[in-house]
Structure 1
């Protein structure tokens, strides 16, 4: 079943934008009468029938709708330092969207090798993963901010920071319970600086470990994403 992302859908008829229309008619070669899936990014999954096809737009009629499709019982926000090779960050976004994540914020840290990210590109990666995995909820991709700016924002729920420095740390499942909100900080390849860790701890973040091996940034973030989802799945 082909899937299209339609965040502005509001009634029982819908016209795909020009890009999606071209993909539908010229690449997929769908025809009038074919049925596709539409997702609105906020839990709505629609079945729609193609009613008209021309060069620039494809029109559809909704024949069925499911609300809260695939809704998770928890909320996960991961703030991650952008990787030097942007492909690795995009890989994380794709896989995390498939596994289950609600919000992503790129954070620029003291030891970050990449200071600039293109949020529109990250948004496209997430949208493609949403369509591929038939996820009705589209994760929120925030603009990149500095570590200090991020900590200054008000946040709620469990606040965790994964780091490689010495000191007492807990496993994620020792600090959060199913259905709770979780905010996890993942630093750059060179880890957070001691000053950043100290500020985070002063702001209520709890240190966690993701295992005994040294992980790449995107691997650590994905490991955290999986742990939170697994914790909620086995207790669902």
Structure 2
């Protein structure tokens, strides 16, 4: 199944964007009368029929639609972008494949990277959503530092911070519970500094481990995401 993306379909936007239209008409060779599966990124999938096939703007009529049942848990990963942006993009794509509701990027005190192209990340997220046949597009946000991110975390979220501390016996797989609205913070290559850790702990975050190995940033983010999905499976 090939998915197409139109976030405003419920608002009456019954057409594919130029990028989606080009792929639909020029690459996949669809034509008038063909049916497509279109997702809105908010949990709904629409069966549509092409009424006008054009590489710049393909029009369609909606035949039917279905909405996936809302899950009883919420997975939020806060992560510092890596120096090599390809590694961060890899994390983003794989986390979406596994299942994540929100990804918040932030720059830590030890971050080697101090900028990120959020628009590019959004496009990568859409591509990963379609590739993994999901109807829900994760929320992607950017914060300039950890305090800014922490200040926007809802009180109701269960809060965890991944930290390299082999004397800390509490693991995420033991601390997290099923059906939680949870966030896990993952630091940069140089980890969180003491000030950042103290701030997180003072705001209700629990320090947790992600196994017995020292993990790279993008690996740690993916392990956290996978662990929370397994707990809820």
Q: CA deviation at 1:55?
A: 4.3
Aligned partner of 2:92 in structure 1 is 93
CA contact (8 A) 2:25 2:31 kept: yes
Structure 1 window deviating more from structure 2 (131-140 vs 69-78): it is 69-78
CA contact (8 A) 1:33 1:51 kept: yes
Q: What's the RMSD between the two structures over aligned residues?
A: 1.6
Aligned partner of 2:223 in structure 1 is 223
- Listed as ranges, the matches of 1:31-180 within 5 Å are 31-67=31-67, 69=68, 71-156=70-155, 157-180=157-180
Aligned partner of 2:197 in structure 1 is 197
Deviations 1:176-224 (Å, cap 9, x if unpaired)? 2211111100001111112211111111110111111111100000000
List, as ranges, runs of 4+ consecutive aligned residues in structure 1 with deviation greater than 4 Å. none
CA contact (8 A) 1:111 1:192 kept: yes
Indicate how the Cα distance of structure 1 residues 213 and 170 shifts in structure 2: closer, same or farther if over 3 A, else same: same
CA contact (8 A) 1:71 1:137 kept: no
TM-score of the superposed pair, with normalisation by structure 2 = 0.94
Indicate how the Cα distance of structure 1 residues 12 and 194 shifts in structure 2: closer, same or farther if over 3 A, else same: closer
CA contact (8 A) 1:73 1:179 kept: yes
Q: CA deviation at 1:174?
A: 2.2
Structure 1 window deviating more from structure 2 (180-189 vs 49-58): it is 49-58
Task: Name the CA distance, whole Å, in 2 between partners of 1:16 and 1:97.
Answer: 23
Indicate how the Cα distance of structure 1 residues 60 and 114 shifts in structure 2: closer, same or farther if over 3 A, else same: same
Deviations 1:35-81 (Å, cap 9, x if unpaired)? 211101111111112122134221112212101x2643210111001
Indicate how the Cα distance of structure 1 residues 47 and 159 shifts in structure 2: closer, same or farther if over 3 A, else same: same
TM-score of the superposed pair, with normalisation by structure 1 = 0.93
Task: Name the CA distance, whole Å, in 1 between partners of 2:121 and 2:214.
Answer: 26
Deviations 1:125-177 (Å, cap 9, x if unpaired)? 10000111111111000123201222233423210000113542412232222
Task: Name the CA distance, whole Å, in 1 between partners of 2:146 and 2:8.
Answer: 33
SS in 1 for 2:49: strand
CA contact (8 A) 1:13 1:60 kept: no
Task: Name the CA distance, whole Å, in 1 between partners of 2:50 and 2:12.
Answer: 12
SS in 2 for 1:131: helix
CA contact (8 A) 2:73 2:178 kept: yes
Task: Name the CA distance, whole Å, in 1 between partners of 2:48 and 2:23.
Answer: 16
Gaps of 5+ in 1: none
